[in-house]
Amino acid sequence: MNSKNIPLCVPSVGSEEMEAVLEVLKSGWMAHGSKNHEFEEQFKRYLNVEHAVTMNSCTSALQLALQAAGITGEVLVPSFTFVASVNAILAAGAVPVLVDIEEDTRNISSEAILDGISEKTEAIMPVHYGGLPADMPTIIRIAEERGLRVIEDSAECLGGRYNGAMPGSYDMGCFSFFPTKNITTGEGGMFTTNDAQLAARVRSLAAHGIDSTTYQREIAERPWIRIASEFGYNFRMSNVLAAIGVEQMKKIDRMIADRQRVAKKYMDELSEIPSIKIQKAINGFEHSWQMFTVLVPKTIRDGFLLYLRSKGIGASVHFDPPVHEQPYYKNLKRGSDLSVTENVSKSIISLPIFPGMNDGDVGYVCDTFKSYEKLN
């Protein structure tokens, strides 16, 4: 078997994005501008929500979602996540409470949420793992019964669905456009909600606490007037990056269909190996496959990962160590037993997946997988 070079992810960026960036550069309007508005309108239509606000990152969107909603108490969040989820809670002045996940879905466990709720709980932050939505109907029911807010960390799940409803369309949603995500602007994020007051406050907080944007002020009678109604930040996305987002949104359905094609071939090829476990979507849930992950016996995980990488396969791990095993966060409150998180984090492998992968690339990864003697 000849060696190939297959990276974990390759962004699907073409001439359309390059031309859009050049157009913005030529216009001279490189800060927040008309492309931000266009990107937000596309996003609202795609998710079927009332409001979308472009941001410089998903982390910023998560932080401002909490701040705009006035959340300073406990926020339930899975320990099986990137540290950005927890950092946003801390940055907002709230208290993260770490809870467990389900092995099959890799998503936050509803039972663990119930275990973690206390009189101090104010919100739940589900993290939709790898493109598969968490059990939002159950989470929303729990939240409504107990008067809690829901902030969806949808960084990895643009295009996922549950019975037609998308992550980020329930209460507050936060998205990432990092190069590994289903669409990219290089760096960037989006906040979504159906709450007009929340959207207005997030937009203001993201722009130094000023209630009008530079683009809006430019067409006002006195464009030089800038009034800050509260303390804020500079969490805005530039017009340049928004232009890339506009072009990415035009082809999102095709790119997600390509990811689903790759995932199906992986499942067809790898499901015959009894010692691995593929992420499962139950009835009604549609996976957008931002990542394709498998669980292997943890006794061989690290050696197997190095073997794949030695064969030119850009396999990785998301996430090990989990948050509660990292030095800075080890003393955070735990709302439930975290044994599933610990087992999954030591067993999981992320395989290459991106729209440009062809069947030959997927076949090579699968053949290399099957050739590892300790797996069989």
Chain mean position to CA 164: 19
Catalytic-role residue among 35, 181, 311, 346: 181
Whether the upstream peptide bond of residue 321 has omega within 30° of 0, thus cis, is yes
For the chain, give the longest Cα–Cα distance: 73
Instruction: Write out the two tokens for 105.
Output: 């879905």
Amino acid letter, residue 198 = L
Give yes or no for a contact between 78 and 98, defined as CB atoms under 8 angstroms apart: yes
- Check if 181 is active-site: yes
- Count Cβ atoms within 10 A of the Cβ of residue 147 and give its class: 0-12 exposed, 13-18 middle, 19 or more buried: exposed
What is the rounded distance in angstroms from the CA atom of residue 326 to the CA atom of residue 117?
Answer: 23
- How do strand 121-124 and strand 149-153 relate by DSSP bridges? parallel
What is the rounded distance in angstroms from the CA atom of residue 159 to the CA atom of residue 250?
Answer: 13
Q: Which of 83, 156, 152, 160 is nearest to 124 (CA)?
A: 152
Under 8 Å CB-to-CB from 302, ≥6 apart: which residues?
Answer: none
Across the strands, what pairs with 54? 190
Please tell me the total number of residues recorded for the chain in this structure.
376
Across the strands, what pairs with 123? 75, 149
* Residue tagged 């009604």 (tokens): 284
Q: Which of 150, 128, 18, 136 is nearest to 81 (CA)?
A: 128
Neighbouring C-beta atoms of residue 149, cutoff 10 Å: 18
Show which residues are catalytic. 181
